[in-house]
Amino acid sequence: MFGRMRISHRLLLLVPVLLVTLVTTVWLGMSELRQSLIDDRKDATKNLVQVAGHVLDIWYAKEKSGALGRDAAQKGAIEELTKLRFADNNYFFAQNFEGVTVLHVDAALQGKNRIDTVDPDGVRTVVRQIELAKSGGGFLNYRASRTGGTATVNGAGISPKIAYISGFEPWQWAYGTGIYIDDVDTIYYRIMWQFAGFAGGLMLIACFVVYFVARSISRPLAEITDRMGELAGGNLAIEVPFLRDAHEMGRLARALDVFRASMSETERMRRDQQLAEARAEAAKRATVTGLADRLETKVKGIVNELSSAATTMHASAETMSATAEHTSRQTVTVAAASEQASARVSTMASASEEMGSSIAEIARQVTHSKDIANAAVQASARTTTTMEGLSSAAQKIGDVLQLIQNIASQTNLLALNATIEAARAGDAGRGFAVVASEVKNLATQTAKATEEISSQIASIQGATREAVESIKGIDETIARIDEITSAIAAAVEEQDKTTQEITRNTHEVAQGTRDVSANIGGIKQAVGETGAAASNVLQLAKALGHTADTLRGEVEGFLVEIRAA
- Looking at this protein, which amino acid is placed at residue 552? R
> In the predicted model, what is the mean pLDDT of residues 98-104?
91
Q: Which of 88-97, 300-309, 550-559 has the highest mean pLDDT?
A: 88-97
Select the more confidently predicted residue: 352 or 98.
98
**pLDDT recorded at residue 62:** 92
- Looking at this protein, which amino acid is placed at residue 85? R
**pLDDT recorded at residue 344:** 65
**pLDDT recorded at residue 153:** 38
66-84 pLDDT, tens digit per residue, is: 889 999 999 999 999 988 8
- Looking at this protein, which amino acid is placed at residue 385? T
Percent residues over pLDDT 70 in the chain:
70
> In the predicted model, what is the mean pLDDT of residues 88-106?
88
Give the residue from 400, 397, 435, 413 showing the smallest Cα distance to 534. 435
| Residue 123 and residue 139 in contact, taking contact as beta carbons nearer than 8 Å | no
Q: Which of 102-116, 182-196, 309-323, 544-558 has the highest mean pLDDT?
A: 102-116
How many angstroms separate the CA atoms of 520 and 289, rounded? 63
> In the predicted model, what is the mean pLDDT of residues 345-364?
66
pLDDT confidence tier of residue 149, bands split at 50, 70 and 90: very low
Contacts of 51 (CB under 8 A, 6+ apart): 84
How many angstroms separate the CA atoms of 214 and 167, rounded? 67
How many angstroms separate the CA atoms of 550 and 538, rounded? 19
297: exposed, middle or buried (Cβ count in 10 Å: 0-12, 13-18, 19+)? exposed
Within 10 angstroms of residue 419's Cβ, the number of other Cβ atoms is 19
pLDDT confidence tier of residue 6, bands split at 50, 70 and 90: low
**pLDDT recorded at residue 486:** 63
CATH 1.10.287 intervals, the chain:
309-564
Please give the full DSSP string across 42-81, using - where no structure is assigned: HHHHHHHHHHHHHHHHHHHHHHHHTSS-HHHHHHHHHHHH
**pLDDT recorded at residue 152:** 41
Angle (CA) 264 270 274, round 5°: 150
Strand partners, 307: none
How many angstroms separate the CA atoms of 452 and 399, rounded? 14
Select the more confidently predicted residue: 7 or 543.
543
pLDDT at 130 over 90: yes
Instruction: Give the CATH fold of the 2-208 domain.
Output: Beta-Lactamase (3.30.450)
526-541 pLDDT, tens digit per residue, is: 657 766 766 776 677 6
Select the more confidently predicted residue: 498 or 128.
128
**pLDDT recorded at residue 480:** 74
pLDDT at 350 over 70: yes
Of 38-52, 200-214, 338-352, 393-407, least confident by mean pLDDT is 338-352
- Looking at this protein, which amino acid is placed at residue 322? A
| Residue 2 and residue 204 in contact, taking contact as beta carbons nearer than 8 Å | no
Within 10 angstroms of residue 258's Cβ, the number of other Cβ atoms is 11
pLDDT at 154 over 50: no
How many angstroms separate the CA atoms of 196 and 204, rounded? 12
Give the residue from 516, 477, 519, 484 showing the smallest Cα distance to 499. 477
15-51 pLDDT, tens digit per residue, is: 777 777 877 877 777 677 777 878 888 888 899 899 9
pLDDT at 376 over 50: yes
**pLDDT recorded at residue 564:** 73
How many angstroms separate the CA atoms of 561 and 565, rounded? 6
pLDDT confidence tier of residue 525, bands split at 50, 70 and 90: confident
> In the predicted model, what is the mean pLDDT of residues 366-374?
64
Give the residue from 337, 341, 340, 348 showing the smallest Cα distance to 506. 348
158-176 pLDDT, tens digit per residue, is: 788 889 999 999 999 999 9
393-426 pLDDT, tens digit per residue, is: 767 767 766 777 787 678 778 777 877 877 787 7
Helix axes 430-479, 488-564, angle to 10 degrees: 170
How many angstroms separate the CA atoms of 24 and 510, rounded? 148
pLDDT at 61 over 90: yes
Give the residue from 177, 160, 145, 178 showing the smallest Cα distance to 34. 160
pLDDT at 120 over 80: yes
pLDDT at 249 over 60: yes
CATH 3.30.450.20 intervals, the chain:
2-208
Measured in degrees and rounded to the nearest 5, phi and psi for residue 42 equal -65, -45
Task: Give SS3 for 525.
Answer: helix
pLDDT confidence tier of residue 191, bands split at 50, 70 and 90: confident
Please, what is the average pLDDT of the chain?
Answer: 76
349: exposed, middle or buried (Cβ count in 10 Å: 0-12, 13-18, 19+)? middle
**pLDDT recorded at residue 166:** 93
Task: Give SS3 for 155.
Answer: coil
* pTM exceeds cut of 0.75: no
Handedness of CA 277, 281, 283, 284 (dihedral sign): positive
Select the more confidently predicted residue: 11 or 285.
285
Instruction: Give the CATH fold of the 309-564 domain.
Output: Helix Hairpins (1.10.287)
Measured in degrees and rounded to the nearest 5, phi and psi for residue 91 equal -145, 175
**pLDDT recorded at residue 127:** 93
pLDDT at 368 over 80: no
255-287 pLDDT, tens digit per residue, is: 878 877 888 888 888 889 999 998 888 887 788
Of 22-26, 303-307, 362-366, least confident by mean pLDDT is 362-366
**pLDDT recorded at residue 151:** 42
| Residue 126 and residue 115 in contact, taking contact as beta carbons nearer than 8 Å | yes
> In the predicted model, what is the mean pLDDT of residues 310-318?
69
**pLDDT recorded at residue 1:** 54
